Amino acid sequence: MENEKRTERITGTELDESRLSDILSVSQIRATDTYETPPQIIWIDNSTIATLGNFSASTGKAKSKKTFNVSAIVAASLADRQILNYHAHLPEGKRRILYVDTEQSRFHCHNVLERILRLAGLPTTTDSENLDFICLREYSPSVRIEVIDYALRQNKGYGLVIIDGIRDLMFDINSTGESVEVINKMMEWSSKFDLHIHCVLHLNKGDNNVRGHIGTEMSNKAETVLVISKSNENPAISEVHALHIREKEFQPFAFTVNDDGLPVIAENHLFDSGVRSKPRTGFMDLTVEQHREALSAAFGDKPIKGFENVLQAMMASYEAIGFKRGRSVMIKLLQHLTDNLKLVIKRDKLFYYDVTPTEAMLFDEE
């Protein structure tokens, strides 16, 4: 039966030579081609876990608080700041988020939506213009895929798509053919619409393997796979670590749910390895005085020419005040200093610290 289905799929997608020639031409990579680094949108500490044009996943056993973890990722993306250990920034034109839930009731979906808004510091009585939340529990896997595809084709400026859970986009979780098709959809959507897709999938009950053939395919193709698990010592605490990551691995962290029903960092949590989790300061926690001290050391009284030169100067000066971070975090910090705090001004290829646009023009003239 599986062979028959596979034959039908192949036959139904046969292409004429003209179409094959077009695909071959656009698929060729040439030495003279230039490609921009995919925009990074989500980080844990100095490690990038999500870029546009790729997909990632969260996995864990039942009741491990996977959806609480995903709520923090979405809220950080909405608020453009750190929540739990997630930093997020969606670029201009890609600020919108599509959240697709395939298994919970509308009541529970609404609870998740409200939690995300509260985490992001947004009102819970008003719909956010940057978040669309849809519940597809009552539909078949094929209809769910069609609805997601239709939503993405509306070109609403989505930069992040959550699919909670990806298992419900297929009839048989152990079907090799269906697994390949669903993962191919993730790669097609993320590439075609230049966005990031984060999926949620369960671990097996009896071991720590991702469920079914879909789990195997996902682990092989995903940019990052996060594992959320209950602490052996305290089941009220959930631990987050990387099962697979293309970037350098981040330090595991733990969270719990407070009295308000929101996930918060479980400070000084002792992991099984004996290592305690430490609350890590993000650049949003630095004071303006700390920023000024670092920027004064980085810039002196002159502008800096070139993006990379600014990053290198900032990495050294911020390390001097006790904030040692890598390039990806410094990119986010520079954007924060430019767009939000207005402590750095960019004109053409020159960056100025703490000067007005008029003064920057005077510097140019000199």
In tens, the pLDDT along 309-330 reads 999 899 888 888 878 787 878 8
Q: Mean pLDDT over residues 4-14, rounded? A: 44
At 168-194, the pLDDT tens digits run: 999 998 888 999 999 999 999 999 999
- In which band, very low, low, confident or very high, does the pLDDT at 37 lie, cut at 50, 70 and 90? confident
* pLDDT at residue number 200: 93
Q: Among 254, 251, 252, 281, which residue's Cα sits nearest to residue 269?
A: 254
> Are the CB atoms for 141 and 89 separated by under 8 Å?
no
pLDDT of residue 22: 86
- 357 pLDDT band (50/70/90 cuts)? very low
Average pLDDT, the chain: 86
- Asked whether 86 and 253 are in contact (CB, 8 A), the reply is no
Task: Identify whether the C-beta of residue 188 lies closer than 8 Å to the C-beta of residue 180.
Answer: no
Q: What is the C-alpha to C-alpha distance for residues 180 and 183, in angstroms, rounded to an integer?
A: 5
User: What's the pLDDT score for residue 160?
Assistant: 98
pLDDT score for 11? 37
Q: Looking at residue 216, what is its pLDDT? A: 82
CB atoms within 10 A of CB 110: 14
Sign of CA dihedral 196, 197, 202, 208: negative
pTM assigned to the model? 0.71
Lowest mean pLDDT across 18-27, 151-160, 209-218, 257-266: 209-218
Q: What average pLDDT does the segment 144-159 reach?
A: 95
Domains of the chain, CATH where assigned:
40-265 (3.40.50.300), 283-365 (1.10.10)
SS3 sequence, the chain? CHHHHHHHHHHHCCCCHHHHHHHHHHHCCCCCCCCCCCCEEEEECCEEEEECCCEEEEEECCCCCHHHHHHHHHHHHHHCCCECCEEECCCCCCCEEEEEECCCCHHHHHHHHHHHHHHCCCCCCCCCCCEEEEECCCCCHHHHHHHHHHHHHCCCCEEEEEEECHHHHCCCCCCHHHHHHHHHHHHHHHHHCCCEEEEEEEECCCCCCECHHHHHHHHHHCCEEEEEEECCCCCCEEEEEEEEECCCCCCCEEEEECCCCCEEECCCCECCCCCECCCCCCHHHCCHHHHHHHHHHHHCCCCEECHHHHHHHHHHHHHHCCCCCCHHHHHHHHHHHHHCCCCEEEECCEEEECCCHHHHHHHHHC
State pLDDT tens for residues 89-123: 999 999 999 999 999 999 999 999 999 999 999 99
* CA–CA distance, 140 with 77 (Å, rounded to integer): 29
For 6, residues 6+ apart whose C-beta sits below 8 A from its C-beta are 177
CA angle (335 as vertex; 331, 337 as ends), nearest 5: 115
